[in-house]
Amino acid sequence: MSIQSFDYYVEAANNDPSNGGPFTDLRKVPVETDLFMDYHISSNAYPNGSTDHKYSSIYHLISGSKLTIEPCVKLFDCTFEINPGSEIVFENTPTNINKQRYQLLYTGGTVTERDEQWLFQNKTETRTILNYEAADFIKAGTSVDNNQPQGAYIVDANADVTFVASNQVVLKHGFRANAGSKFHAYISPITVPGCPQRMARPDHDYSQTEYVNSKNNNLFFLAPSLTTSRSFLNFKIQREGYYSIEVLNALGETQKKFFDNRFFRANTYKLDEDFTDLAPGVYICKLSGADEQYTTKFIKSN
């Protein structure tokens, strides 16, 4: 995985002593990733070797989990698999830009999207489970939006769609829920938050950008990239020299070192390493030395 413009950040949820807190400095901290295709171990649904950047990071939401995407969080090059019993919530959908750079796999979980208002036409909805929530109103029909081509809005068989609005849900000519579909609509107060400020470390320069030069996405990766204890460090040294391999947290702080300025000959390596002592979370493993630097992301779970 090659990373460009990856800004390490801390959000209010991580504002605790274990991360160096508490922090009191509120700033607009960038929250964005820009990733290229990574090696991954997954089901056949994800083609290994694909050049589609949306497979760079794959997040499997298991039953009982809920992922909230805050306003103004930019999503690049990632896939969210929403499994039964899980939910992903977009608190302010229009501010989560670059939709062409990420994708949602509707595999039985719930996707909730919020906006000030929703206008639906010229579309056949086949996905499940979708919750559209509006702070003002929702309208659906053949001609509710002059900026879109006219056409019916159809909730097709097996689709599961819910409209919730604070003021109005208007179903006009051209709206249809086909046999076998599930459609619900009701009025309830909905709040759509604006872009927040986030807790920032006062001693951290969030304008810093880490550039990683990698033309070969298989130069450095972990397998599996989701680990409870041990994983294999796979890497290729193209130029002999002294290299270090370390694990960083989301703040860019070193949590573990496997090698510190150790000499490696040009070769391909596969090393079995222990990650048991790391707390659950998302980490960056970095290999650096001899004017080369590579990083790969992994998840440590219980």
Give per-residue pLDDT as tens, 30-51.
444 444 444 444 444 555 555 5
Residue 103 resides in a domain:
yes
The domain in which residue 130 lies consists of 31-199
Do 107 and 157 reside in the same domain of the chain?
yes
What is the model's pLDDT at position 30?
A: 41
Residue 210 resides in a domain:
no
Mean per-residue pLDDT over the chain, rounded: 78
Provide the residue type at 76 as one letter.
F
Of 131, 55, 133, 130, which is closest to residue 92 (Cα–Cα)? 133
Q: Between 82 and 100, where is the model more confident?
A: 82
Do 180 and 118 reside in the same domain of the chain?
yes
Do 195 and 224 reside in the same domain of the chain?
no
pLDDT for residue 206 is more than 90: no
What is the model's pLDDT at position 40?
A: 43
Do 169 and 291 reside in the same domain of the chain?
no
Q: Between 292 and 214, where is the model more confident?
A: 292
What is the model's pLDDT at position 199?
A: 59
Of 54, 100, 92, 123, which is closest to residue 190 (Cα–Cα)? 92
pTM of the predicted protein model: 0.57
Residues 6+ apart with CB under 8 A from 68: 88, 89, 91
Instruction: Pick from 41-55, 106-120, 225-239 the range whose average pLDDT is largest.
Output: 106-120
Q: In the chain, how many domains are there?
A: 2
Residue 2 resides in a domain:
no
pLDDT for residue 9 is more than 70: no
Residue 298 CA to residue 100 CA, distance in Å, equals 24
Do 40 and 148 reside in the same domain of the chain?
yes
Residue 1 resides in a domain:
no
Would you tell me how many other CB atoms lie within 10 Å of the CB of residue 221? 23
Do 186 and 224 reside in the same domain of the chain?
no
Do 259 and 175 reside in the same domain of the chain?
no
What is the model's pLDDT at position 200?
A: 57
Do 141 and 261 reside in the same domain of the chain?
no
Would you tell me how many other CB atoms lie within 10 Å of the CB of residue 214? 18
Residue 256 CA to residue 209 CA, distance in Å, equals 22
Residues 6+ apart with CB under 8 A from 125: 153, 154, 155, 156, 159, 161
Percent of the chain with pLDDT over 90: 36
Do 274 and 168 reside in the same domain of the chain?
no
- What average pLDDT does this structure show over 118-123? 96
Of 120, 163, 119, 114, which is closest to residue 135 (Cα–Cα)? 114
Instruction: Pick from 5-9, 190-194, 233-237, 252-256 the range whose average pLDDT is largest.
Output: 190-194
Q: Between 133 and 23, where is the model more confident?
A: 133
Do 224 and 195 reside in the same domain of the chain?
no
What is the model's pLDDT at position 173?
A: 96
Structure tokens at 160: 């599961």
Residue 143 resides in a domain:
yes
What is the model's pLDDT at position 186?
A: 96
Do 147 and 248 reside in the same domain of the chain?
no
Residue 74 resides in a domain:
yes
In the block, which residue shows the tokens 């608190």? 91
Residue 9 resides in a domain:
no
In the block, which residue shows the tokens 């290299």? 243
Do 76 and 193 reside in the same domain of the chain?
yes
Residue 20 resides in a domain:
no
User: What sign does the dihedral 185-187-104-64 (CA atoms) show?
Assistant: negative
Residue 92 CA to residue 191 CA, distance in Å, equals 10
Q: Are strands 220-223 and 230-237 parallel, antiparallel or unpaired?
A: antiparallel
